[in-house]
Structures are given as structure tokens and as C-alpha cells.
Structure 1
Amino acid sequence: MLLGWQMAAARAEPPAVVPPEPKEPERPAPARVVPDRLTVLLLGDSLAQGLFLSLHPVLRRRPTPRLVNGTLHATGVTRTDEHDWRSVTHDLVALHQPQLVVFWIGANDFRPLVVREERARHRFGTTGYAEHYTRRVMEMAGHATQSGARAIWLGLPNMREAQFAGAVRQLNAIQQAAAETAGAVWVDTWEATSDAEGRYLPAVGEPSAARTFRAEDGVHFTGWGYLRIGSLLFDQAAAHFPDLAPGLGRLAEA
């Protein structure tokens, strides 16, 4: 049995359909112009520094890309009182106006995170550490993406010491979430530096002809190892940013 208001509603004429306002045809986004000279700004600690020192002799023989060294060893995101990567990123991006910014940093970031304005120190693994570290990574990557550059954040590799490797995986999770939120592309290096069981991989190839690509400290890389990471970086950059691919080329072609 219908109630009175339900019967009235049933007898009522359907509401008039108001035609939608005509929309202007969508204009295709302007195509990005491939630069004649592609500038790649590399930022980070000793891992990034080693990458630059290995790539530069190869790339300087090419007309493009031009690799700019913005690295500094023994630095990290946690100690802005020693080297503030947020302001450094802002200044170097403004100075060099790169089309691509690559970050590789974190090997020194297991020290307490210092917040000068709060006169506080947050230990690795605490909520305060994760929150402040996230904001700093987002700000660094944001300086790149907001300038119009593309940004890639390289994840930290597997490490020989098991406890250190476990901490690196935690830091990678923080970095990845923050970098991607800021519009950067995350490029994982863990798989490329691990064996099939996920263990630290010091060399590649058959045992009788294995070639070492990690340094003796179990953290850094040999020159050839850095070129392997560079090849991974270039392949991923070209895949994510096809318009930059002609300027990047393939590292194996060098």
C-alpha cells in the first residue's frame, strides 16, 4: 500500500531534463619540446657521488645529456644542521634549470634526525623520525617537480650487513611514499642488488667468471657497478619520460 506522499510522487510528472551546457572541445596538452641539450642534475651522498664519477667520463663524450654534480659525501636528509638538502636542492635547481633531477641519498640517515627549530632529535624507527623525514623528502622532490623538471628518486641498494639491510628497507619505504607523493618517480635498486633469495649480491655472472660490482665495504659499488646502476637509471628514465629518451640515449651505447 502506497502512502499519500508516495502516490503523489508516482502521479507527478517527471522533472524536466535540463540539457547540459555545451562544452568546449578539449584541447590536447601541448607536446613537450625535446631539449637540444638535456641537463641532468644528480643530488645525494657518496652513493650519488660515486655514480657521478663513473658516469661523467662516459657522458662527457656525448653532446647530451649534460650531467651536473650536486653531490656531497657524508651528508644526509637527517642532519640539516650540517647540510640542508632542502635549500641545496632549491638553489641548484634554480641555478642549473635541469630537465631531470635524480636523487640518491640515505646511506648516512640512520643517525638521529635533528630538528633545530624544535631543539629535538628523533631516533630512527620512531614516529617523529618518519614524519620529519617524509616532509623533508617531499620538500626536496617538490623543488624539482614544481620547477617543471622531472624527478627520479633512486632507492637504496641491498647491503651486506643483515641488520643494516633491514634498516635500509624501512628507510626505502619512507622515501618511496614521500617521493611519489611529491610527484617523483621511484626507481628501485634492491632487486638489482639482490640474488634470487633476496640476499646481498656482491658479483654477477657465472661463478667461474663472476664480475664484482659492489665495493669492499658492502655499501658502495665498483666503477662498473655504478655503471650498472646508471644503466638501470637511464632505462627507467626513458620508460617513464619518453620525450627525454632521445636526449638520454642508452648507457650501453657509450
Structure 2
Amino acid sequence: MTLAKLAVLRRALPALACAGLALLVVPEPARAQWGDSYDQPQDYGYRRRSRDAYYRDDGYRQPQPRRYAPPQEAPRQFYWPWEDRPQQAAPQPQPTYRRPPRPKPPVGTADGARENHRPAVKRRVQPPPATEPQKPAIAKTEPSVRIAVFGDSLADSLSRGLDDVFEDNADVAVIDRAKPDSGLVRRDVVDWASAAADYLKISKISYAVVLLGVNDRQPIREGDQSYEALSDRWRETYRTRVEALAKVFQDQKIPLIWVGTPPVRSESLTKDLAAINDIVRDAVQKAGGIFVDAWPGFVDDRNRFVMTGPDLEGQAAKLRTADGVHFTRAGARKLAHFADVELKRMMGSAAPATSEATPTAVAPIQAPGLDGSASKLDDIAAIDRQITAMLPSLPEPPGIPALPVKPAAGQVVPLGRAEISPGGTLASGRQPDGDASGNVERTLQRGSAPLPQPGRADDFRWPPG
């Protein structure tokens, strides 16, 4: 480099230094207030995936392959003798937390004295549940009264109820002759007139109880003829069959009690059963039997069917089963009550009238023997009589004063007759006393107020002076 070039460079060096300093001092151009930080791309440390990784060429998303856990090997069942069989680790017991015992205070302190004198807690011992003692079954080997119950499935419940009534009476036996699904309409099931006559030939009964009708709301067939239920011809035929069954017991001189069919849940069937009961009542009473109406015991005050109601003890109980036709045990006992009243009346089981107790003679005290020793009393009743005789007699209670006997009816006097005095003149009232003070005339005739009494509340006169 020549000296001339060095001289030129030396002269231009200050100018270059000033230009560089000016570039450093000049500020940057002003940025916009919003959104300038998003204009420049920034690197956040991740890369955007290519479009082909999610979408196919046709615009649908490409499903990603599912990842499954690696399959676990099943435990081996066979090991070679030179292989070590894996040992299962015994389960470690789980640590349990126990509350640390409470430290007892010394006996000499106040807390210790209070702890020692703490009253013991008395635990109430609950008594065992009371169980009703079972009544011993009374063997009825030779009962003098035999009651046979004939009828359908409701008569079966009636028989069970009567059996509960007379279970304590060894002289009364209840015989169940009921046949379910039977009636007076279908003779192909049971012909009750013939069945009752055949049974009376081999058995002797004292009373007969019949309950039929719940299965009889269906046409009656006689040969080729069929009569619709409750038609005129049907009623005549049904009445004839009731009279035929009642005549079987009448010929054998067996008292008959026919229990009417009670209401059921179905309203239409209940109306038809009421009509059947009317037919049976008329036919049985004409045949000399007794018809018992059990209808009021199983309806409410509006004559509607009820599932529950009061039992014989007055407690609310379920009387009918879920089908609304048959009876529970409480209902069967209530149904039997209607026939039980008539049976006891016929058997004369009514309680006898209480008569006045007759005084029992007291045995005299036995005199001591010759050796001075009294005779031995082995009889307990004799000892009681002797003690009663030794007690002092109580004084007789004073007599009750006799009351005057009132006549059953007084003198008959017509209410419309005017009262006449003995002289023949009309009776007049009492003569009024003289009005000496004039209060009557002043009050009633003149309308003036009566004079007040001195010192009374209505005395408004000024005191004298």
C-alpha cells in the first residue's frame, strides 16, 4: 500500500466512525399497538405433522392403528426336573391400626378416685319372645254330634272355620264333604242331591251345613236344552235343584243350615250372586231349613266388597285372599260364626240362666273322742267347713225400707176437655192481691218506669241536703 492510500484512509476514518455511531443511535420504527407480536413466526419447540398423517386424499380421517397391551404368558403347568419352579410369595399381612390404651391415672389422685367410683352400667336383659303355648289336640274318638259340610270351595273354608270353633269340644266333630269347582248347575261334576243321599246311607250325621252358588253363574243344560244364566227358565230349574237337595235332609229328619254366598270382588258376579241367594232363601225356607245370610259380614257401610275388616275380636284383619273370592283363616272363622250361632241354638249350647246360690249346709264340728283327741280330718273340704263354722257370724244387714208402690198408669184424662169446678163453673185463677203501692197501674197502664229502690244502682237521685 502506498503512502497516498494510507493518507486517504486516515482522513476518512473519523467520518466512518461517526456514521457507525449514527446507525446505533437511530431508534427502530414504531410498531402497532395490537397484533405485532404474532406477525413474526416463533418457534415453540414442536413441529407440525404433515397432513397425510391424519387425512387421506379423499378428505376422510385416516384411522390410527390401535395399540394393545402385550399378551401375558399363561402360567406353565409342566417344568423339567432341572428347572426351578417359581415360588409364590406369601401375602404380607396388612398393618392394622390399634388405638393405644388409655393410661390410667394413679389411685391417689382425684381422677383416679372418680374412675374407681364410676357407677357400673347395668345392661337391660331382654326377655325371650313370648310364644303362645300350643293347645293340646283333643282326641275326638266317639263324638256325639257330627256336623257335615257340603258345598264348593267356599264350603271348604266354612268347614275349617267350624273346626276351629269346636276344636276344644270333644263331643262335636266337623266333617268336610266339600268339592271344589262344584255347584248345582254342573251335574256332570257333582250331583249334590245324589251324592248327599249316598253319603247319608253309610254315615250318620246330626246337622247338615250347605254353601253353594259361587260357581253357578253359567247356563244350565237339560238334555238338548240350554238355559242362559238367570233367565226365567234357569231360575225355575235352579229352584227345583235346591228343593231336591233340601228334601234329602228333610226325609232323614236332619236339620239343614244353608249359608248364603258372600260377595266377591267382581261387581257383576256379586250382583248375580245376590240374585241366586234370593232364589235359595225362598226354596230353603219353604223346605223347612234355615237360611243364614253372611253378606253383611263382608261389606262396608255402603254395601261394597271389602278385602279387610273387623274379625270376631274387633281387630282389623285380612278376610279375603288375593283372588277376591276365597277366605283367609280370619275370614273363614268369621264366615263360620254365622252358622255357629244357629248350630249352638239348635244344640242348646246357650249359657244357662244363673240361679240363686243355695246355702250349703255346714258340717257340725266333730266332738272329741273319749280319749280327748279330736277325730282326724282327711278331707280338705271338711277342714274348710270346720273353719267356716268356727268363724263368728256377721250381723244381719238392716232391711231396705219398702218404697211406696207406684201405679203402672195414672188416671186417664182427655187433653181437650176443659177443667170444670165441682159447682159447674169454670175454674178461675187466683184473685190478685191489692196494689197498695200503685206499681202495677203505673208500670203496666201508664208505661212509667218503676221507682228505684234507695241505694240501688238505678237510683240516680241526688242525696238530700
Q: TM-score normalized by structure 1?
A: 0.76
For residue 70 of structure 1, give the secondary structure of its aligned residue in structure 2. strand
Q: Counterparts of 1:196-215 in structure 2 under 5 Å?
A: 196-205=301-310, 210-215=316-321
Residue 233 of structure 1 pairs with residue 323 of structure 2:
no
- Displacement of 1:141 in angstroms is 1.1
- Displacement of 1:238 in angstroms is 2.7
Q: What does residue 48 of structure 1 align with?
A: 155
Q: Counterparts of 1:58-137 in structure 2 under 5 Å?
A: 59-115=166-222, 118-137=223-242
1:57–1:155 CA distance, 2 compared to 1 (3 A): closer
Task: Give the root-mean-square deviation of aligned CA atoms.
Answer: 2.2
For residue 348 of structure 2, give the secondary structure of its aligned residue in structure 1. helix
1:156–1:111 CA distance, 2 compared to 1 (3 A): same
C-alpha distance in structure 1 between counterparts of 2:348 and 2:327, whole Å:
26
1:50–1:173 CA distance, 2 compared to 1 (3 A): same
Q: What does residue 290 of structure 2 align with?
A: 185
C-alpha distance in structure 2 between counterparts of 1:151 and 1:62, whole Å:
21
- Displacement of 1:64 in angstroms is 2.3
1:152–1:205 CA distance, 2 compared to 1 (3 A): closer
The Cα offsets for residues 193-225 of structure 1, whole Å up to 9 and x where unpaired, read as 11111111221249xx62111111111110111
C-alpha distance in structure 1 between counterparts of 2:278 and 2:220, whole Å:
17
C-alpha distance in structure 1 between counterparts of 2:296 and 2:316, whole Å:
18
Q: Which amino acid aligns with 1:234?
A: D
For residue 129 of structure 1, give the secondary structure of its aligned residue in structure 2. helix
- Displacement of 1:57 in angstroms is 5.5
The Cα offsets for residues 199-254 of structure 1, whole Å up to 9 and x where unpaired, read as 11221249xx6211111111111011101111221112333x2xx133x99xxxxx
Instruction: Give the conservation status (yes or no) of the 8 Å contact 2:182–2:189.
Output: yes
C-alpha distance in structure 2 between counterparts of 1:62 and 1:138, whole Å:
33
**1:139 aligns with one of 238, 244, 262:** 244
Identical amino acids, percent of aligned pairs = 24
For residue 183 of structure 1, give the secondary structure of its aligned residue in structure 2. coil
Instruction: Give the conservation status (yes or no) of the 8 Å contact 1:45–1:72.
Output: yes
C-alpha distance in structure 2 between counterparts of 1:236 and 1:112, whole Å:
33
Residue 245 of structure 1 pairs with residue 352 of structure 2:
no
Q: Which amino acid aligns with 2:173?
A: R
Structure 1 portions without partners, runs of 5+ = 1-35, 250-254
C-alpha distance in structure 1 between counterparts of 2:239 and 2:202, whole Å:
25
Instruction: Give the conservation status (yes or no) of the 8 Å contact 2:164–2:333.
Output: no
Q: What does residue 328 of structure 2 align with?
A: 222
Instruction: Give the conservation status (yes or no) of the 8 Å contact 2:166–2:172.
Output: yes
- Displacement of 1:54 in angstroms is 4.1
Q: Name which structure has the greater RCO, CA cutoff 8 Å, separation 6+.
A: 1
Residue 39 of structure 1 pairs with residue 164 of structure 2:
no
Q: Which amino acid aligns with 1:83?
A: V
Instruction: Give the conservation status (yes or no) of the 8 Å contact 1:137–1:179.
Output: yes
**How many residues align structurally?**
207
Instruction: Give the conservation status (yes or no) of the 8 Å contact 1:76–1:106.
Output: yes
Instruction: Give the conservation status (yes or no) of the 8 Å contact 1:81–1:114.
Output: no
Instruction: Give the conservation status (yes or no) of the 8 Å contact 1:214–1:222.
Output: yes
C-alpha distance in structure 1 between counterparts of 2:348 and 2:344, whole Å:
4
Select the structure that is richer in helix: 1
1:205–1:57 CA distance, 2 compared to 1 (3 A): closer
Select the structure that is richer in strand: 1
- Displacement of 1:53 in angstroms is 3.3
Q: What does residue 26 of structure 1 align with?
A: none
Structure 2 portions without partners, runs of 5+ = 1-142, 352-465
Instruction: Give the conservation status (yes or no) of the 8 Å contact 1:153–1:186.
Output: yes
For residue 232 of structure 1, give the secondary structure of its aligned residue in structure 2. helix
Deviates further, 89-98 or 227-236: 89-98
